[in-house]
Structure 1
């Protein structure tokens, strides 16, 4: 007599209980065995958050979105290599937020991102936001790679602050010397938008003009929200400058030069990198002709990886880079490579690797930092608007 015969012969209530328990135990064992590979897979993978913040709405939204797209492209391409960090296959994700180019909003976002568990920070775009937010990241020990060009950003003594563009000291210095030595400007007027970026850039430009024996005849102030500059321009017209330098974004510089021309002013108009956009030319129209601007870095087509970067950017987003994307791409890559070299996403572990990074990037063959977090291999390009196009005039390596 075998077991099956016994099972048939004794079908009482206790036997049913035993059989049911036996079956449930078997099911539970099968489920447990089935989930072991899933648990093992989860233990071997991880997601690492990198924070990002810039103005994604408002007049500077095109800058913020371009900045974000460069970082997104870098993350997608780095993820495709299946990086192994902390002993696990790692997927990087961008934790993005709109800081609206507002310092108060930016600091609140900084704290939220830290609380979200980010391992690194890309941002902010504006110096006026980056500087106050940097204290929050520094307190948390989180490396921050910003687009900030204000010298003060990396002069605070934080080991966590890095930038991906030349500083205003370098950019303002180049343009100040250029307008005196190459343009031969005799009477220079300056206008800035009172933001940390605008004021810092204007300060450095003014220092450089004076150091080159130029004459600054007046300095006026506006805001990054203004669109009517006729009062300021009328004052300047009375002082007859042969050059007006504006430190601020294209949302102000374009209407400013247009209004200057409507007042009959023939002064050469000069600005910084935030005026070097297609939107400036579109808004300013014919008034854009002859305008000079400076831009940190080399022209995209002269960057070591610029040509292929532009193609990959267009393939992913269906458009060409606006301004900041190549720099944010390099910044994101530097951060992820530092984690990879350290074998850890722990900020305290990879921060020393980031500080000593020396990689071939899109913007330069040697993307590396000095002890303050400033780029070692910085360049500045002077452009001129000719026939509705930005034409590179001179690429300089500032000292």
Structure 2
């Protein structure tokens, strides 16, 4: 039997054809992988990676052709300058889409770079209204914005917690100041309350003695903090050390599984009331619990807060690519704007700004060192 020789050109063509059949789709992720918020950045990256692994495991196809999703991750250390550098690297790499950034202060400056490059960007956590109100058609988010989060917390503080005298602190970041301002508006709108102090710190501070001493003299029954858990935890410790008895309230930045560890024994039972920009109605709870179990099995640690939203962000982006029959950002971007996707966190669709429609908020407290659900509101 004679062996048939295959010309080298035919071999090269076959290899090239195989490569083309497996299109690579690059999903960028940017968040704080170093610094004080690294635990949250890692959580969001883990959610992004888990979605990519699931898409590859099920042999996701675009226009009937198999594709391979790959993660291209960058660290912005929650720093705006580093964020723009990371965004430019992803743009130069020609990623097909970006999940991130985590904070509003990094998402906003980075968004212009993605817009100029025509790359869709979905943040799983940035809540400043500015982010989606820049007239950039490439910006989307999966959580309610600060207008809703802050206003809802302000009303809840007055109407449900009965707060009469409130002190407000923020960390001067886009997120912290924004949510604090909206909280103040919501509280005043609810009526019958005094904002007895308006103080600020920064997102790397560890000593709050001066501002807390001033606040103590006003005897507030609630202190609102706009910022992240890495500052909120030590802040609560020092509040209690100075004898400030009021509850600490904040947004999703302090509504993390790490907060009791950062606050120590002062977290106590119901010493903190916080809201997560997002949340699932009772009908979605089973999906969320199943995701949390898979996350734990995959990473051997509990999810923090943003991983399920990052997971849904990737899946929503993939759905838009499938609808457009293309992973080319220019081709699937219009489909992303009108996408409908049933995610872990709920039904996903965007309004004209790129904000999530009917964004939910979840109110929590902490008991026995564990985050405990109060209620989901829309």
For this structure pair, what is the TM-score category when the shorter chain's length is used for normalisation? over 0.9
Q: Please tell me whether the aligned partners of residues 304 and 361 of structure 1 are also in contact (alpha carbons under 8 angstroms).
A: no
Q: Please tell me whether the aligned partners of residues 304 and 362 of structure 1 are also in contact (alpha carbons under 8 angstroms).
A: no
Distance apart, 1:27 and its partner CA:
10
Q: For residues 392 and 43 of structure 1, what CA distance do their matches in structure 2 show?
A: 49
Equivalent residue for 2:187?
A: 209
Equivalent residue for 1:39?
A: 16
Distance apart, 1:39 and its partner CA:
2.6
Equivalent residue for 1:176?
A: 154
- Per-residue CA deviation, residues 2-26 of structure 1 (Å, 9 max, x unaligned), is xxxxxxxxxxxxxxxxxxxxxxxx9
Of 59, 65, 76, which aligns to 1:82? 59
Q: For residues 376 and 232 of structure 2, what CA distance do their matches in structure 1 show?
A: 23
Q: Secondary structure at the match of 1:395?
A: strand
Equivalent residue for 1:325?
A: 307
- Gaps spanning 5+ residues in structure 2: where? none
Q: Secondary structure at the match of 1:282?
A: helix
Q: Secondary structure at the match of 2:36?
A: coil
Q: For residues 336 and 101 of structure 1, what CA distance do their matches in structure 2 show?
A: 26
Of 251, 254, 274, which aligns to 1:275? 254
Of 134, 137, 161, which aligns to 2:139? 161
Aligned residues: 371
Q: Please tell me whether the aligned partners of residues 107 and 133 of structure 1 are also in contact (alpha carbons under 8 angstroms).
A: yes
2:347 paired with 1:347: no
Q: Secondary structure at the match of 2:343?
A: coil
Q: For residues 196 and 203 of structure 1, what CA distance do their matches in structure 2 show?
A: 11
CA gap 1:356/1:299 in 2 versus in 1, 3 angstroms: closer
- Per-residue CA deviation, residues 355-383 of structure 1 (Å, 9 max, x unaligned), is 1111110000x111111111113111111
- RMSD of aligned Cα (Å): 1.8
Q: Secondary structure at the match of 1:312?
A: helix
2:211 paired with 1:229: no
Of 45, 51, 59, which aligns to 1:68? 45
Q: For residues 145 and 33 of structure 1, what CA distance do their matches in structure 2 show?
A: 42
Task: Please report the TM-score for the alignment, with normalisation by the length of structure 2.
Answer: 0.94
Q: For residues 184 and 339 of structure 2, what CA distance do their matches in structure 1 show?
A: 33
Of 264, 284, 306, which aligns to 2:288? 306
Q: For residues 43 and 218 of structure 1, what CA distance do their matches in structure 2 show?
A: 62
Q: For residues 11 and 261 of structure 2, what CA distance do their matches in structure 1 show?
A: 62
Task: Please report the TM-score for the alignment, with normalisation by the length of structure 1.
Answer: 0.89
Q: Secondary structure at the match of 1:217?
A: strand
Q: Please tell me whether the aligned partners of residues 56 and 62 of structure 1 are also in contact (alpha carbons under 8 angstroms).
A: yes
Equivalent residue for 1:338?
A: 320
Distance apart, 1:292 and its partner CA:
0.9
- Per-residue CA deviation, residues 283-313 of structure 1 (Å, 9 max, x unaligned), is 3222112211111222698535202211221
Q: Secondary structure at the match of 1:112?
A: helix
Distance apart, 1:34 and its partner CA:
3.9
- Gaps spanning 5+ residues in structure 1: where? 1-25
- Per-residue CA deviation, residues 254-287 of structure 1 (Å, 9 max, x unaligned), is 1111111111111121111111223221132221
Q: For residues 241 and 131 of structure 2, what CA distance do their matches in structure 1 show?
A: 38
Q: Please tell me whether the aligned partners of residues 310 and 321 of structure 1 are also in contact (alpha carbons under 8 angstroms).
A: yes
Q: For residues 368 and 170 of structure 2, what CA distance do their matches in structure 1 show?
A: 27
Q: Which moved more, 1:303-312 or 1:93-102?
A: 303-312
Q: Secondary structure at the match of 1:349?
A: helix
